[in-house]
Structures are given as structure tokens and as C-alpha cells.
Amino acid sequence: MKAVVYQGPHAIEVKQVPDAKIEKATDVLVKITTSNICGSDLHMYEGRTDFAAGNIFGHENLGVVIEIGNAVDRVKIGDRVCLPFNIGCGFCENCERGLTGYCLTANPGFAGAAYGFAGMGPYSGGQAELLRVPYADFNCLVLPPDAEEKENDYVMLSDIFPTGYHATELAGVQVGDSVVVYGAGPVGLMAAYSAIIKGASKVMVVDMHKDRLALAEKIGAIPIDDSDGSCVEQVLALTGGLGADRGCECVGYQCCDHKRHEIPNLTMNNLVKTVRATGGIGVVGVFIPQDPGAQDKLAQQGQIAFDMGQFWIKGQHIGTGQANVKAYNRKLCNLIAAGKAKPSFLISHELPLDKAVEAYENFDARNDGWTKVVLKPGK
Amino acid sequence: MKAVVYQGPHAIEVKQVPDAKIEKATDVLVKITTSNICGSDLHMYEGRTDFAAGNIFGHENLGVVIEIGNAVDRVKIGDRVCLPFNIGCGFCENCERGLTGYCLTANPGFAGAAYGFAGMGPYSGGQAELLRVPYADFNCLVLPPDAEEKENDYVMLSDIFPTGYHATELAGVQVGDSVVVYGAGPVGLMAAYSAIIKGASKVMVVDMHKDRLALAEKIGAIPIDDSDGSCVEQVLALTGGLGADRGCECVGYQCCDHKRHEIPNLTMNNLVKTVRATGGIGVVGVFIPQDPGAQDKLAQQGQIAFDMGQFWIKGQHIGTGQANVKAYNRKLCNLIAAGKAKPSFLISHELPLDKAVEAYENFDARNDGWTKVVLKPGK
Amino acid sequence: MKAVVYQGPHAIEVKQVPDAKIEKATDVLVKITTSNICGSDLHMYEGRTDFAAGNIFGHENLGVVIEIGNAVDRVKIGDRVCLPFNIGCGFCENCERGLTGYCLTANPGFAGAAYGFAGMGPYSGGQAELLRVPYADFNCLVLPPDAEEKENDYVMLSDIFPTGYHATELAGVQVGDSVVVYGAGPVGLMAAYSAIIKGASKVMVVDMHKDRLALAEKIGAIPIDDSDGSCVEQVLALTGGLGADRGCECVGYQCCDHKRHEIPNLTMNNLVKTVRATGGIGVVGVFIPQDPGAQDKLAQQGQIAFDMGQFWIKGQHIGTGQANVKAYNRKLCNLIAAGKAKPSFLISHELPLDKAVEAYENFDARNDGWTKVVLKPGK
Amino acid sequence: MKAVVYQGPHAIEVKQVPDAKIEKATDVLVKITTSNICGSDLHMYEGRTDFAAGNIFGHENLGVVIEIGNAVDRVKIGDRVCLPFNIGCGFCENCERGLTGYCLTANPGFAGAAYGFAGMGPYSGGQAELLRVPYADFNCLVLPPDAEEKENDYVMLSDIFPTGYHATELAGVQVGDSVVVYGAGPVGLMAAYSAIIKGASKVMVVDMHKDRLALAEKIGAIPIDDSDGSCVEQVLALTGGLGADRGCECVGYQCCDHKRHEIPNLTMNNLVKTVRATGGIGVVGVFIPQDPGAQDKLAQQGQIAFDMGQFWIKGQHIGTGQANVKAYNRKLCNLIAAGKAKPSFLISHELPLDKAVEAYENFDARNDGWTKVVLKPGK
């Protein structure tokens, strides 16, 4: 089969590899029809992780089941399924509480597994023609009849739509709230979109890229341009000086100031400043336990200089981590099926698998207009 | 009236001051019968805050109502009442959500007010013969008939029992959980006690003071002696290497390593290490936005070097801040009345108001056996 | 002042009565600019309650503060305020938990007080030129600067918008849910509207009045016409035979079958049938503890023949009761201010106070097109 | 193998039947060491259900795994496991939300499956030497090292301890609450025990059997003897006339008045009367959708004459249904392992399988002292 294979920092290749196949009785085999490139792929692509050369990328996958293991009960050949990026077993202590992003079985010795992801177990990615799906009855979201027609919407259920939604859950967004989202990349936009779906009264999105801010505005959010570093003042002005009820971090450890220097504590401390006393903060942007290549000494050890005093005095709370996709994908699927959500609005490029090299280069460079790329292995 | 008056760093005096009195129609006047010394009083006593000379200490107060304003409806002369340390108006946006520790009315320009407390508004403390109580219908907890007999239990409802309980709420402690509490001072012991009341299966308390650890053991917790800095290993060993389900920070910014050096990020990072992935952390130990006298540069600006990467990868959450006492004092009062809680177990000294100087000196020095002091103005 | 005064069954009069005035230091006096007629007024108007002749109607009130008691802190003369129909003290056990519809102070011996309402205390209603508001700092919702312009939206915050929202809270409506609402009167429409605001995927509204069903469709709900008694089949067909995730009862004890006979258990048992196993049911339609004039023997004693076996086997849950308006009015106010909610869509008639007689007659007859009447005392 | 086989109303036999065996790759086979008789078994034993002659009883099972299907990952041969009475698949919409009592897979066409239970699917019971366990990785609770020693405690995790706990969850019991439990049978006692574990301040248990009330008192509850029908007055007297904060129904449709007549609405209406306004009611006593043999006409159709008016005016809420055992068994297991819960206190008889006939006869007759019987197939 053809697949997008990591070769080393900033180098990938689309090439033939052995076919994915059923390995256990609870597996199914999926013919991938859509697989997205994610911002997290770029961390690995840039060589800032221990992702090994030869591995296949792709954790945002959708396709058609073509073979099932003999202990599979629910999923049928021919089902069009969307796969949560995190792989759960369905029966460990965390999975049974719904914390499927922290499965204790699928990646022994660590809480959490994923397809094609550094540190998340031995699972190949889906930027390929075929994908093996473990614990398939648990992991497959079988899509409604209109799945093919809305495939570019449903594929967002694999990661970024639930991840953006998770940010709003961690922050505690409720009807009528004001919300500030840091980052207008795909996840930040999905967080803003989720807050709007939940009935927030005012959603502000902070970024420096005008094309992304324009998308934020298009879905009904208030764009906050931080090109001059004034986002804190702007958010406070829009919230009567008190700050927003809730805040979402959708940038992560590589956040930059307006001069494009990495300032790892920038968004977290801005959140403390711009969220009201007693407010909630949800962090889905990735922070990592060590970053040996970082310039900042604290960052090398995975630390940030955090405004703990301000945070405590304001009585705020923070929730973090990868989304438990299965906790949200059914409900968000219902919205797509009912025509009440259309997350494909953020797709900028739909390309065949063969164009993956060009896609990674442009997306990694944050080139203007490359918001979100979906790859189509079959085309 | 007689009162405990702050004179300057490490100096107080018990002396005559003008009587407290009713100032607004919604006030009542209380004759104080018990007022505790709190660990937070020591921050002010040591001169590490802007608490002004001439102010009266005391935010853990209980007494008898002797006069009521003419708009007071519920509270009657003769009622024995326990006063939450935080003063709420009852009608601002935060009070109406139950966030009475963050009242927007009682201390204009800041979220939160208290008696005899730096930065918490112009209210005198209760280490005195009389106390003015604002918004009295809202703030007074009228005690049950056995109030006088169990006064040393009920007075704990003013602050440390609800504050310890708040730590367990912020951490999300549930039936069957394992819980680690950092700090075996009065608040840490109340957190451990609250976790036990809630049905935790295993409660571990970390400290270096043997007298305090002995009290922890007495109430059914597992004492963890960190005299050699091995608390992380000890907690992991007791929790199958995964960490506790929940953790409570009951020390604050002045936390010290086993050599008694202040290491402001010590307990927070130990919590990240010793709480399981997806677990919750509740922080009621005080952290302050600036601490000009600190040696640590980050600490001077109210920052700590926080293990953000580890925290995020583990998908933990943190809640912080002062307890909203009114959210808990009725239910904890019910437990005392029913004989199911007896928080007075941690009182080491019961002294007349006149002995306040000696009490502050010994408590501030953490002298052996001085766990908790209650002052009795009437005696 | 002029007021709408109850004279006896089906008889009211608009006439001069003594001016409302400040009676306690915590009161304010409001010049009413809008007061709605509510479905609950009709229960009293029809003489099915013990509402006494001479009483003034009106519990959905909005106006301008013209005088304040001397213990009022927050509310100012000139503030435009919307008054929750339920009157809370702000300091009893129920009010402090946010259960302001069940205040233990304002109507001694009963949990709950309201303006101009049978059994809810000695408070006059606001279908009048002036209204006394007790515990004013607690009860007044001070409106934003655009209050006058959007007065017909904001007045809905006094009762039906929060009441409809309450139905969805009691039922547990969440993002992506399917919801069935029984009753397309003003409250049912507000329940449907609230479910849509919360991100429900599918909202079905059951009624027999075509004008009301048309309004339901206009806001994005699916109208279910029960003119032939087939609503159960229709809802099951729309929900894959399993039933809706959540259901709302917005009719009450006077619910009728398609032949207009009162069948008091009809909507409750239909809800059990058309809500899925494990689903939630919220009941804001009024049921009363005794109804001596009812034909049905059970109904006379306030009982219904309830499908308990089916309810239990399906593991459903039911929440009931009057809305705690203050729990929701701020957040819904934010939505109106932000232009995200416009509940005035259901107003069919805006009339001066003098036309109250005509308004009651038409509204009570459920005459076609009389969906919701707002009275304007100043005009 | 030997098993307890249903022969017809009031007739069982202990006899040889074909061995249970692995049927699917996800099954395990368990050698039963303890299996309890449950109150629900009596409904079937008495012939009031459609349980077919030839079926094997037993849904409260514990034993040792002796064989595993080839797709089983987690459970190992030799593990001592406790089996939730409800059988879940782990991957349907309900199981993935934790509603494992309402599995949509294991018993097609109905929400919920169980071992040896009328209407709950084709699964044999465990009052036998061997038991087939479907979806074993999901359903088996692997017990801690002290499992054999505390087997009589751990076996209660299969049903009645989680079921009693579920009643308190449905009712919303919180720290400090007062709770009234109707029924001092095994489930009622477990509900009372759970409320005490959760920190309730006052737990009242209503029954007419003195031996059961004595057990309630022994665990710290207040026994309420309803031998003269005065339970409502007694509960109100103990709760200041307002009623308990929460109530639990642990009797079901066969509840009787003090003259031993079945009055199906008795406990439900008593709960409405004795729970406070805004309070919660949890119903785990079984109610059934039709009961053709009942004398009461409403009961024949599964209805009760319910005090809907009183229920609504008080703003109460009710939750119902079978416990989702997996939602609670881990946390309650932790308590047993830590020595903080010892539910075996209610066992009155421990008998070999061969004595099942005698056990059913005595338990069904509610003979004095026959509180709870555990059968030991291996002995």
C-alpha cells in the first residue's frame, strides 16, 4: 500500500509499504478515504520528538471497513467509520470512566495510545491506503447514511472538532458565557465553534494571522489581532475589565510573542490575566515534559514560569490534556447529521495522498491560506 | 473593648480600642466568645503583607448576637453564630452563584473580602470582645441548640474545616478515591479529615513535623514523613506506581524542602508527580501575586517554575483559591450536630485573649505541640 | 394607581387602587413599563385556585426604579430592572443554594413566594402602574444599556424564558441531544428555544394548535401535530424507535386529548413512552395537590395514574417544579444583550393596561393568534 | 455441573445440567465459589414473571476464571472475579456512557441484560458450579489479593452494594444530608450503609421487621418502625417538619401497608410526603410494566396513583432503575480492600448449593432472621 512515511526532520516520502492487516480477533481493517494533516504532525515532522524514521503519519482518519476480526460483533464490512485519534481498549479503569485518551492497556506503561504518534504506542498512521484499527467495536464510530456526502465534516470527528470541544469542556463553558480562545489554528477555531454551539454569548479569538482571524469572524467570533502584543488589553476592554468567564489554550508550548520568539509561558499567563476571578481555563495546546532543543532553560525541562500567585488569588481552575474523543464524537456527529454543524468550513486544501510532501511543507511554514489539509488516499 | 492589635512585624499588643458598632441597617454586632489564630494570620504577623499597624486580627470567629440593624430579618439577638471568614453581600454575580469568597461588593475593586485580613477590605477582626458583621442575614450561620457545648467544634466552621473541605472539592475527591495531602497543619488535617468523611479509601498526609503526622494518623490517615525528601517515592509506592487519584495542596508559597529552604514550586510539582494521570489537584495553600522579600527571583513576581509539560501529558486538573465558606458550612455543621465530625481534635491550646502575644510567638515558631490556638475573649 | 384587579371567576377590572409603596428598608419601588399575562394567571382567572377577589395580577414584570429603601445598596433610582416572578430573601437555606423558587422566608410556612399569585404570599402583582419589590438588592436584575430598546425581550426574563430553560435543565438537555417538548404555548416554545440554544440536534414540539406549531417551526423545531392523537408514533418514528434523549412537560394538569377532554396523566405517560431508556424528563407545566372541581377522581386529590412500571424499567428520571429564575436570568440576559436570543418573537399582542379585560378574555379562550400578551401600564 | 433450576411457581431443584462453556472468543468460564440469593430471584421464584422452567437462577456471582476465549486480553486464568449482575458489551451507546445496566447489544430489542433473569436475555445464572461470562474483559472485576479471605464482602459488589449505592446516587445524597430509606431488606440496608459512607448526617430506615431494623441500627442508622403506619409522622418529627433531604425507595411494587396488604403506591407517595421541597428520590425497588395477577386495577397495567401535584409543588426529582454496577464496583471494592466497608454484615446464612431449596423457602417466607443467603457451590 502507499503511505506517508517519516524520513527525518522536515522530510517525508509517499511510498509503498507492506499492507496493514488484521492482527487480532478484535481488529478491523479500514480502507482510508480521508486522512487529515494535524498540527501535532508538525511537531513530529520538525524532528522535535522521538518519532522514528520509517513510521507512517496520520491520526485523523475516516474510511470504509473491508475486513473484520472474528471477535468483532458490532462493526460490519462496508460500514463507513470515523476513528478517534486515541485508541482505547474499552475495559481498563480509565476507558470505563470515559477517559479513553488515557487508556492503560493499548500502550503499556503509559496512559494513552494513538495512530502514528510519537510516544503513543506501536500503531501505524492512516495517511495511507489501509489502516488496522484495534479494539474495533469500541473505537469505530459508525457514521450515518449521509456519511459519504459529508465526509469532510465527519472526518473532523477524529480529532480537532472533539479536541476543540474538549477545550470548552475543560474550561467549563456554559450558556451565556464570555470565552477567550488563544490560537486561531484549526483547534482554536473548533474551540470557538464549540463555544458558539454551546450558547456562549461572546467568543473572542486571539491570533496574529489575518487569514485565520477572518475565519474566526466568519463563524461569529470576535477576532483579536495580537500583532502588537495588546491582546490582554483588548480582551479586558471587551469584558468590562473583569476578564472572560472562560479561556481556552489552543497553541501549546511553541507559542510566540508578536516578534515570533517562542515564549512558552505566554498564553498560559495571558489566560490567567484575561480570565475572570473564579473562571475556568481549558488547555488542549500541547505542552511536553522535556524539550532538549529549546532555548529557554525552564522549557528544556518542560517547565514554565507560571503566574501561580495571580492564578491562586483569582481562584481560577485549569483542566488539561488530550481530548477523550469518544466522550464527544457521537453528540457532535448528531449535529453534523442534523445540519447544525459544518466543521469542514476550515478546510483550505483537499489533496491526493501523492501531494503530501507539498502539503506538509506549506502547512509547516504556516503559509498564508494553508489552514487545514485533508488527504484523499483513494484519489 | 479589648483587641489583638498589629503593631509591626512580629509585634502585636492586646489593648483597649474603640468598641465595634453597628454601621449599617444590615449589620449585627456580635460579642465574640471564641476566635482562632490561623496560619494566614502569621503571614501578616511576620510582615510579609501590607497589613497596617493598628489593625485588629481575627477572621475565625464565633459569638453571640447582642444588637441587630433595623433591616435585619433573620438573625435575632441572643443567637449564637459562626461567621465565615469571607464576607459576602449575597446579591452580586459571584455571591449568587455561591462564590462568596469572591464577593464583588464588600471590597470594591477586588473579588473577596474578609475580617482582619490584608487586602481584603476595611473590616476589623474578631480577636476582640466585639465584632461588627456586615450583611448579617447572609453571613451569620445560626448554630443549633448544642452550640455552646460544642463551641470549639463549631468555631472551625468559620474557616479551616470548610477550607480543608474545599481542597477536597477542588481536587474532586469521591467515594473510594486515594488522596494525598501536602501539609499536616490545621488546614491539611482538615483536608484529610474531609476526605475521610467523604469516603476516600486511602488518605496520605505528607509533612515533616512528627506531632502533626501523629494527629493525621489518629484520624485514620497514613502519615508520610518527608524528613529526607522521599515523599514522592513513598506515595508512588502506596499507589501502585500510578499516583493518588486526587491531591491537596495545604502549604502554600512558603513551602520548604527537608532542609527548611523555601522552594516555592516544591509542593505543586510534587503533586503533579504523585497524582495519577487524569487526577485532580486542589490548592488552598496561599500563593501570592508578588513577594518582594523572597530570595527566589520568580517568587518575587509571584511565579513558580511549574512542570507544565508533565501536568499536561497527565491530563490533570487544578482548582485553586479561598474556600467559599458558605458553600459548606451548613452541611459540616450538620455533621457536628449529629456527632459525626469533631474538628476540635486539633486544638492544642485554649487561651484567654490576654495571652495572645505568647500564642502568636509560639504558633509562628511552629513550636512543638502548638497545632491550633483558640482565644476566648470573654475569659 | 391603576391596576388589573381580580373580581371573581372570569372577571377582572382595571381600576384605581392605593399606590404601592416601600414597606421595608430593603424594598424598592418600581414604575412598571411592561407586565405580561401568563398562562398561570389563567388558572387564577378561571377561579380554579383560592386567589382572592381584590388581588392584583401580574408576576412577569419590568420597570424603572423610582424609590429605594434605606438599606438598599446595589440598585439605584433610574435603573431599569426585570423582576423574577419568584421572590427570594437571598439568605435562607434554599436561596443560598440557588433554589430561589423555594424561598423559606418570603412566604412563611411554604417554600416559595411570588407577585400576584395564589398561595405564594401577600405580594401584589405588577399589572399595575407601580410595584413594591422586596429584598430588592437580591431580586432586581439590573438590565444593560440597551434595556429600553429590547424591553420586550428582557421582560421574558421574568418568567417564561427561564421557565422554558428550566425544563431543559431538569431534563438534562446537552449538546447533540434529541428533545421532545409537550406543549407549544409560550413556555413550551421557550423550552424548545432553550434546547436549540444549548445545541440540541433535534427538537420536536407536540401540540394541536396550528398557529403555535408554526411558531415552533419558525425557530427551527420540528412541529408534531397531535390532532389525531398520534404524537407517540410520530416521535418514535423520528427517533429510530428508541425515543428522544430528553423530554419537557410544558402543559400541566389541564392537558387534554385530541377531543379536548382533560386527561391529567396524558402528557406524563406520553413522555415515559417517547423518551428513551435512561433519558430525562423536565416538568414545568403546573400540577396541583388538589383540584376539587376536577371530574377525574384521582385528579381531585392531585394524583395521576402514572406508568411507574414503564418509567422504572426504562431507568428514566424526572425533575419538576417552578424555575429558580435567578439561576438563569443573568446568562439569558447576556444572550439577549449579545443579540443571540430574541424571545420577543412569541409576542402576539402589545396592549395598554386598559385593554387587560379584552386580553384576558381572548388569551383564556386560546383564541387563534393570541400567543402572548404584554401589557404596557405607562401607555 | 450442578445448578439451581427453576421448575415452576415456588419450585426449584438442585440438579445436574450440561456444563456451561465458552461460546464466543470474548467469553471466559468461571468456576463459581459464591452466588447469592437476591430479592429479585423471589419475584421469579413466586411465578410473577415469565421466567421459564428449566432456567438457572443466580445473578450475584463470584468465582475463579478457569478458561478464557482467544480474544480475551485482560482477564487471566486463575483471576478471582466478581461479576456485575448486568451484562454489558462495553461499546454500545449506553455502555460507553457508563449506563451498563441498559446495554443495547447483549439483549437485542431491550435495554439491559443479566444472568438468570426474566426478560434480561438468554444468559444462565450462577447458582451453579460454572458460569459463562460474555464480554469478559469488560464485565469481570478482577479482585485484589485478599479476595478469598473477604469473599463474602466482595460478592456483594455483584449487585446489592452497588444497587444500594445507586439509590443514594439517584437521590443525590451529599455530605451532611438527612436521608430516609424505605425498606430494610438487603438493598435498603446497603442504601443506608452507602449514605453513611458518603457522609450523610442522619439516615433513617423504615420497615416493619424488627430483625432488619436492628441491623439498620447496628450500622448507625435510625430505625423507624412502621408497624402502625406512622412512618410519615416519625420522619417529619425527626426532620423539623420539613422532611429529609433525600429519600430512597428499596421495596418496589409489592410494598405493603402495616396490615400486609399490597399498596403499590405506598412507598412512592410516602417519599413525596417525607422528602423536603427540592429534595431527591432514588428508586431501586422494582416496579414492573404489567402485573396481570395484581388485585389493584392500576397495578395490573403497571400504574400507580401517584401524588403528582404534591411532587410538583415541592419541586422534587426522581431517578429510577437498575444500578449500572460497573459505575460503582471499583470504588466500593477499594473500600472493602482498605477495610472501610464490610457489607457481609448482612449475611445471615452461608449454605452449600445443595441447600438451595430450603434457602429459597425460608427467604421467600421472609422468615425471621433470613436476611441474606449466600450459596457456596464448591462446598
Which residue from B minimizes the CA distance to A322? B315
Q: Is the pLDDT of residue A254 over 90?
A: no
What is the predicted pLDDT for the residue at B354?
Answer: 96
SS3 label, residue C357: helix
Return the number of other C-beta atoms located less than 10 Å from residue C263's C-beta. 17
What is the predicted pLDDT for the residue at C25?
Answer: 96
Exposed, middle or buried by CB within 10 Å (0-12, 13-18, 19+), for D185? buried
Give me chain D's average pLDDT, please: 96
Closest by Cβ to A25, choosing from D71, D98, D138:
D71
- The stretch B311-327 carries a mean pLDDT of 98
Q: Is the pLDDT of residue D32 over 90?
A: yes
Which residue from B minimizes the CA distance to D335? B201
Reported confidence tier of residue D100, pLDDT bands at 50, 70, 90: very high
Would the CB atoms of B302 and A307 count as touching at under 8 Å? yes
- How close B289 comes to chain C (CA, Å)? 30
- How close C166 comes to chain B (CA, Å)? 16
Would the CB atoms of A335 and C197 count as touching at under 8 Å? no
What is the spatial distance between Cα D278 and Cα D276, in angstroms, rounded to a whole number? 6
- How close B42 comes to chain C (CA, Å)? 32
DSSP C258-279: TTS-B-TTHHHHHHHHHEEEEE
What is the predicted pLDDT for the residue at C291?
Answer: 87
Chain B residues inside the 8 Å CB shell of C90: 90-91, 137-138
* Strands D202-207 and B28-36, sheet pairing: unpaired
- How close A110 comes to chain C (CA, Å)? 31
Q: Is the pLDDT of residue B173 over 90?
A: yes
Return the number of other C-beta atoms located less than 10 Å from residue B328's C-beta. 23
- The DSSP output letter for D165 is H
Is the Cα dihedral C56, C57, C63, C68 positive or negative? Answer: positive
CA neighbor of C377 nearest in space, from C151, C190, C163 = C151
- How close C146 comes to chain B (CA, Å)? 20
Would the CB atoms of D278 and C315 count as touching at under 8 Å? no
**Which of D173, D242, D334, D342 to probe by mutation at the B interface, max B CB count within 10 Å?**
D334
Closest by Cβ to D25, choosing from A25, A92, A93:
A25
Residue type at B249 in one-letter notation: E
Which residue from B minimizes the CA distance to D330? B176
What is the spatial distance between Cα D341 and Cα D328, in angstroms, rounded to a whole number? 14
Q: Is the pLDDT of residue A129 over 90?
A: yes
Would the CB atoms of D105 and A74 count as touching at under 8 Å? yes
Would the CB atoms of B198 and D201 count as touching at under 8 Å? no
Closest by Cβ to B317, choosing from A305, A318, A322:
A318
What is the predicted pLDDT for the residue at B260?
Answer: 84
Closest by Cβ to C305, choosing from D97, D289, D303:
D303
Each residue's pLDDT tens digit, C116-167: 999 999 999 999 999 999 999 999 999 999 999 999 999 999 999 999 999 9
- The DSSP output letter for D339 is T
Each residue's pLDDT tens digit, B119-146: 999 999 999 999 999 999 999 999 999 9
Distances (CA, A) of A159 to A82, A97, A187, B314: 10, 19, 9, 18
Alpha carbon D249 to its chain centroid, in Å, reads 12
Please provide residue B258's backbone torsions phi and psi, each rounded to the nearest 5 degrees.
-75, 0
- Chain D residues at the B interface, defined by Cβ less than 8 Å, are 165, 174-178, 197-199, 201-202, 330-335, 337-338, 340
Q: Is the pLDDT of residue C48 over 90?
A: no
Q: Is the pLDDT of residue D368 over 90?
A: no
What is the predicted pLDDT for the residue at C255?
Answer: 87
Q: Count how many Cα atoms sit within 13 Å of the Cα of residue A268 in the half-sphere of its side chain.
A: 31
Reported confidence tier of residue A1, pLDDT bands at 50, 70, 90: very high
What is the predicted pLDDT for the residue at A368?
Answer: 87
Each residue's pLDDT tens digit, A209-246: 999 999 999 999 999 999 999 999 999 999 999 999 99
* Helices D160-171, D186-197: inter-axial angle, 10-degree rounding: 60
Chain C residues inside the 8 Å CB shell of D283: 312
Reported confidence tier of residue C206, pLDDT bands at 50, 70, 90: very high
Q: Spell out the residues 6+ positions from residue B304 whose beta carbon is closer than 8 angstroms to its own.
A: A305, A306, A308, B253, B264, B265, B268, B287, B298
Subunits in contact with chain B (3 or more CB pairs closer than 8 Å): A, C, D
Would the CB atoms of C314 and D111 count as touching at under 8 Å? yes
Q: Are A55 and A119 in contact (CB under 8 A)?
A: no
- How close A19 comes to chain B (CA, Å)? 32
Closest by Cβ to D315, choosing from C101, C289, C310:
C101
Beta strands in chain D (DSSP E): 2-8, 11-16, 28-36, 61-68, 80-83, 130-133, 141-142, 178-182, 202-207, 222-225, 244-249, 275-283, 304-306, 317-320, 349-352, 373-376
- The stretch C54-63 carries a mean pLDDT of 98
Q: Count how many Cα atoms sit within 13 Å of the Cα of residue B231 in the half-sphere of its side chain.
A: 29
Q: Which residue has the cell 485478599?
A: D146
What is the predicted pLDDT for the residue at C49?
Answer: 87
Would the CB atoms of D91 and A138 count as touching at under 8 Å? yes
* Strands D130-133 and D28-36, sheet pairing: antiparallel
Subunits in contact with chain A (3 or more CB pairs closer than 8 Å): B, C, D
- How close B264 comes to chain A (CA, Å)? 10
What is the predicted pLDDT for the residue at A296?
Answer: 87
What is the spatial distance between Cα C65 and Cα C132, in angstroms, rounded to a whole number? 10
Structure ipTM = 0.97
Each residue's pLDDT tens digit, B239-256: 999 999 999 999 998 888
Each residue's pLDDT tens digit, D264-277: 999 999 999 999 99
DSSP B144-175: PTTTTTTHHHHGGGGTHHHHHHHHHHHHT--T
Would the CB atoms of C320 and D319 count as touching at under 8 Å? no
**Which of B166, B174, B175, B276 to probe by mutation at the D interface, max D CB count within 10 Å?**
B175
Would the CB atoms of D71 and A138 count as touching at under 8 Å? no
Chain B residues inside the 8 Å CB shell of A268: 308
Q: Are B38 and B120 in contact (CB under 8 A)?
A: no
Chain A residues inside the 8 Å CB shell of C340: 199, 201
Closest by Cβ to C174, choosing from A176, A331, A333:
A331
Return the number of other C-beta atoms located less than 10 Å from residue C11's C-beta. 13
Q: Spell out the residues 6+ positions from residue C145 whose beta carbon is closer than 8 angstroms to its own.
A: none
Q: Is the pLDDT of residue A258 over 90?
A: no
Each residue's pLDDT tens digit, D191-231: 999 999 999 999 999 999 999 999 999 999 999 999 999 99
Q: Is the pLDDT of residue B234 over 90?
A: yes
Q: Are D59 and D40 in contact (CB under 8 A)?
A: yes
Chain A residues inside the 8 Å CB shell of B170: 317
Would the CB atoms of B326 and C71 count as touching at under 8 Å? no
DSSP A129-191: SEEEESSHHHH-EEPPTTTTTTHHHHGGGGTHHHHHHHHHHHHT--TT-EEEEE--SHHHHHH
- How close B325 comes to chain C (CA, Å)? 12
Chain B residues inside the 8 Å CB shell of D330: 176
Would the CB atoms of D98 and A98 count as touching at under 8 Å? yes
Closest by Cβ to A175, choosing from C176, C178, C198:
C198
Q: Are B35 and B58 in contact (CB under 8 A)?
A: yes
Q: Are B94 and B103 in contact (CB under 8 A)?
A: yes
Would the CB atoms of A289 and B305 count as touching at under 8 Å? no
SS3 label, residue D244: strand
- The stretch B218-236 carries a mean pLDDT of 97
Chain C residues inside the 8 Å CB shell of B70: 25, 71
What is the predicted pLDDT for the residue at D230?
Answer: 95
Would the CB atoms of C312 and D277 count as touching at under 8 Å? no
Beta strands in chain A (DSSP E): 2-8, 11-16, 28-36, 60-68, 80-83, 130-133, 141-142, 178-182, 202-207, 222-225, 244-249, 275-283, 304-306, 317-320, 349-352, 373-376
What is the predicted pLDDT for the residue at B265?
Answer: 96
Q: Which of A258-267, B104-113, D82-91, D175-184 has the lowest mean pLDDT?
A: A258-267
A234 — alpha (psi -120 to 50), left (phi > 0) or beta? alpha
The H or E element containing residue B357 is: helix B356-364
Chain B residues inside the 8 Å CB shell of A288: 309, 312-313
- Chain A residues at the D interface, defined by Cβ less than 8 Å, are 24-26, 69-71, 73-74, 89-93, 96-98, 105, 137-138, 326, 330
What is the spatial distance between Cα D345 and Cα D366, in angstroms, rounded to a whole number? 18
What is the predicted pLDDT for the residue at D293?
Answer: 81
Q: Is the pLDDT of residue B289 over 90?
A: yes
pTM: 0.97
What is the spatial distance between Cα D288 and Cα D50, in angstroms, rounded to a whole number? 12
Would the CB atoms of A91 and D90 count as touching at under 8 Å? yes
Chain C residues inside the 8 Å CB shell of D317: 170, 317-320
Each residue's pLDDT tens digit, B278-288: 999 999 999 99
Alpha carbon A290 to its chain centroid, in Å, reads 20
What is the predicted pLDDT for the residue at D285?
Answer: 96
Q: Is the pLDDT of residue B378 over 90?
A: no
Return the number of other C-beta atoms located less than 10 Å from residue A305's C-beta. 22
Give me chain C's average pLDDT, please: 96
What is the spatial distance between Cα C322 and Cα A235, in angstroms, rounded to a whole number? 37
Q: Which residue has the cell 416572578?
A: C85
Which residue from D minimizes the CA distance to C300? D309
Each residue's pLDDT tens digit, A11-60: 999 999 999 999 999 999 999 999 999 999 998 999 988 899 999 999 99
Closest by Cβ to C90, choosing from B24, B69, B90:
B90
Exposed, middle or buried by CB within 10 Å (0-12, 13-18, 19+), for A92? buried
pLDDT > 90: percent of chain C: 92
pLDDT > 70: percent of chain D: 100
